[in-house]
Amino acid sequence: MLSHSYKELGFGKWMLTYIAIVISMFSLTQILLPLSKMLPGALSLFYPYFLAFFIICLSQFVFLIATYYSVLYFSLTNKSSLENNITKDKNTNSQEIAEVLKVEIGYNQYKKLFYLTLTFIDEFQKEYTETNENSKLLQPLLYWMLFSYAKKQNVMLTNQDMAIAKFRMVDYWNKESDFKLTQELLFFNESGHFELKINEKNIRINDMIFLKSKLSFKDIFKKYFICFVPTDVKTAQQLYNKKNADKYLLEHFEGFYSNISE
């Protein structure tokens, strides 16, 4: 086990051979010392030598263990320092996005990947198109899809969770890209009502039928369904009352959801 650990740290053949010898000699003393006590006569005369040999082997064994943990500690410290430097360099080299021009969200059937594509202008007025995609991207994309659909329907979202939603949208992108977003670039804010600044013509949601089949996609629209109900209907149906709003949700959501399209 100790030999394998040293090998993982990159030590060479000679060191591994030395470790094997120390462990073998240390194990041998565990046999010789009891035998010299159990068998009187010639072996008992060698007991002091066996004991001295045991002490030498034990000290070498302890030295190897101490050395291993010391090397492991400094190795991890250096690795952590290197990663911090890389992160610092990455943040130093990151650029600010000046304006978001287009948003595209969807699912690539060929690659089997969810994706988010932004077309934007950087601080030097250079235009870029960047795509983030992976097989587990649906959850981070839910708020992007919700805001995008709301923009297409000329709906401003309002809910106590909107602050968290906006943070997650920006944070997701910034973790994946060297081009950094801010909330001010994406959202209009009017008395607690929020909408994307991007023109609805420049927002594209692909493969809506597939996305609608996902339970998490349906759940997020159900959570914010009240935002899509016209103000005059809210007033007439007294939907500012939670009990009335819950009843209206049960009666009307399926019809609303079946009509979601690009």
Task: Provide CB contacts within 8 A for 94, sequence distance 6+.
Answer: 178, 179, 180
Q: Which of 92, 117, 143 marks a domain boundary?
A: 92
pLDDT at position 9 is 47
pLDDT at position 112 is 87
Average pLDDT, the chain: 80
Residues forming a β-bridge with 2: none
113 and 224 belong to one structural domain: yes
Q: Could you count the other beta carbons within 10 Å of the beta carbon of residue 53?
A: 17
Point out the least confidently predicted range of 8-12, 54-58, 188-192, 252-256.
8-12
Residue pair 32/45 in contact (Cβ under 8 Å)? The answer is no
112-147 pLDDT, tens digit per residue, is: 889 999 999 998 899 999 999 877 778 888 999 999
76 is written with which tokens? 């991890």
Confirm whether 140 is domain-assigned. yes
Residue pair 73/11 in contact (Cβ under 8 Å)? The answer is no
Confirm whether 249 is domain-assigned. yes
CB hemisphere CA count around 51 (13 angstroms): 8
Q: How many domains does the chain have?
A: 2
Confirm whether 99 is domain-assigned. no
137 and 30 belong to one structural domain: no
Across 165-183, average pLDDT: 88
Point out the least confidently predicted range of 53-57, 80-84, 258-262.
80-84
Q: How buried is residue 144: exposed, middle or buried, by Cβ count under 10 Å (0-12/13-18/19+)?
A: buried
pLDDT at position 221 is 93
pLDDT at position 34 is 72
65 and 144 belong to one structural domain: no
**pLDDT bracket for residue 54 (50, 70, 90):** confident
pLDDT at position 89 is 47
pLDDT at position 37 is 66
Residue pair 194/156 in contact (Cβ under 8 Å)? The answer is yes
88 and 113 belong to one structural domain: no
- State which residues form the domain around 73: 2-92
Residue pair 154/188 in contact (Cβ under 8 Å)? The answer is no
74 and 108 belong to one structural domain: no
Tell me what percent of the residues of the chain surpass a pLDDT of 90: 36
149 and 74 belong to one structural domain: no
H/E stretch holding 116 reads strand 113-122
